[in-house]
């Protein structure tokens, strides 16, 4: 075990707590400690606006990072994330349907249902003879994502006045998050815990499927469970915050460099780092960029990192 791994989890936990405190204090409206006792409005801003938004950002970041870690372990590919199996595309289509047909009512429900439906559609398309070849699963995800993107484009073309709302949601953001959204996001913790319980099996799977089977791992069953749990947590993230990319790609890779490939450490490290990353990204957007969609921020540093990974694999 790497020496850095021994202090990584406590250090990340402390960093997350400090980040949440700083994010609540920072914002376009400065709030000092004295103003909390002098102005009721300051308490309202902290409790009703900033705190639920920061907590939601932490939960969404945690969900995306853990789902990405599970996908990378399952596919044995550092460039895998929930987007690759159509989860995000399904959630985006579901939310767009709610916006176009129902004026946004029930959008989180539609987004979550769309994300789950897309994931299971990919699963059943790729399934052959009770087995799920990883290559077929990836290609099925790409094909279905393309189809869903076409349907999404059609809905946007016919959206009329709803187009602006759709565009902002697709960029990803936490503008109107309330405590209700925090409660919607809380099941993420259960889903991430469920994924963590299979950390040992994912470690064995990293050898290869044949060796994992000989060591007593039901590989096909493990694929089913990880896909379902990853779709669950990623679907909740999409339902709450829209389509935010690259957190599920970047965070697991960076944490793997710090704590190593052992998923018993990698899962909690990625969860904490993903939460920290999205909390600070959202704080940056609402403090310095007039509440620009946070998905733009994550894409700005995520896309170059993806190119770096791609080039590294080409040289290997």
pLDDT string in tens for the chain (316-residue length):
556 777 889 999 999 999 999 898 887 766 655 555 556 677 777 888 889 999 999 999 999 999 999 988 888 777 777 777 788 889 889 888 988 888 778 888 888 888 888 988 888 888 776 666 767 777 888 889 889 989 988 988 888 778 887 887 788 888 888 899 999 999 999 999 999 999 999 999 888 778 888 888 888 889 889 988 988 898 889 888 888 888 988 899 889 888 988 999 999 999 999 999 999 999 998 888 877 888 888 888 777 877 776 677 666 5
Would you say 276 and 17 are in contact if contact means Cβ atoms under 8 Å apart?
A: no
Phi, psi (deg, nearest 5) at residue 269: -65, -45
Tokens of 163: 């187009």
CB atoms closer than 10 angstroms to residue 203: 17
Look up residue 46 and give its DSSP letter: I
**37: CATH:** 1.10.3470.10
Asked whether 212 and 205 are in contact (CB, 8 A), the reply is: yes
Q: How far apart are CA 265 and CA 259, in angstroms?
A: 7
Tokens of 172: 């990803």
DSSP string, 97-133: HHHHHHTTTTHHHHHHHHHHHHHHHHHHHH-BTTB--
User: In this structure, are residues 238 and 172 in contact, taking their beta carbons and an 8 Å threshold?
Assistant: no
Q: What's the sign of the alpha-carbon dihedral 57, 62, 63, 65?
A: positive
Q: Does residue 111 contact residue 239 with C-beta atoms inside 8 Å?
A: yes
Query: How many distinct structural domains can be found in the chain?
Result: 1
Cβ atoms of 133 and 141 within 8 Å: the answer is: no
Neighbours of 183 (CB within 10 A): 11
Residue 242 sits in which domain range?
Answer: 3-315
pTM of the model: 0.89
């Amino acid at each position: 075990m790497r020496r850095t791994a021994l202090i990584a989890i406590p250090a990340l936990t402390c960093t997350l707590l400090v980040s949440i405190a700083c994010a609540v204090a920072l914002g376009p409206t400065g709030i000092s400690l004295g103003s909390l006792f002098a102005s009721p409005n300051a308490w309202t801003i902290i409790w009703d606006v900033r705190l639920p938004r920061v907590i939601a950002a932490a939960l969404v970041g945690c969900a995306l990072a853990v789902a990405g870690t599970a996908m990378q372990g399952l596919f044995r590919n550092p460039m895998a994330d929930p987007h690759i199996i159509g989860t995000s595309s399904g959630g985006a289509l579901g939310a767009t349907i709610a916006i176009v047909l129902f004026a946004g009512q029930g959008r989180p429900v539609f987004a979550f249902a769309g994300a789950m439906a897309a994931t299971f559609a990919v699963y059943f398309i790729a399934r052959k003879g009770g087995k799920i070849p990883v290559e077929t699963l990836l290609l099925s995800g790409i094909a279905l994502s393309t189809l869903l993107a076409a349907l999404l484009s059609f809905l946007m073309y016919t959206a009329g006045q709803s187009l602006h709302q759709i565009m902002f949601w697709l960029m990803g953001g936490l503008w109107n998050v309330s405590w209700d959204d925090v409660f919607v996001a809380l099941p993420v913790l259960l889903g991430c815990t469920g994924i963590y319980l299979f950390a040992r099996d994912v470690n064995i799977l990293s050898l290869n499927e044949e060796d994992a089977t000989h060591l007593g791992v039901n590989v096909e069953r493990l694929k089913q469970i990880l896909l379902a749990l990853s779709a669950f947590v990623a679907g909740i993230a999409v339902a709450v915050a829209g389509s935010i990319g690259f957190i599920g790609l970047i965070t697991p890779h960076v944490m793997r460099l710090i704590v190593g490939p052992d998923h018993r450490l990698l899962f909690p490290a990625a969860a904490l780092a993903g939460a920290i990353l999205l909390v600070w990204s959202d704080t940056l957007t609402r403090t310095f960029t007039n509440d620009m969609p946070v998905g733009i921020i994550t894409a700005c540093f995520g896309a170059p990192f993806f190119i770096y990974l791609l080039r590294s694999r080409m040289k290997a």
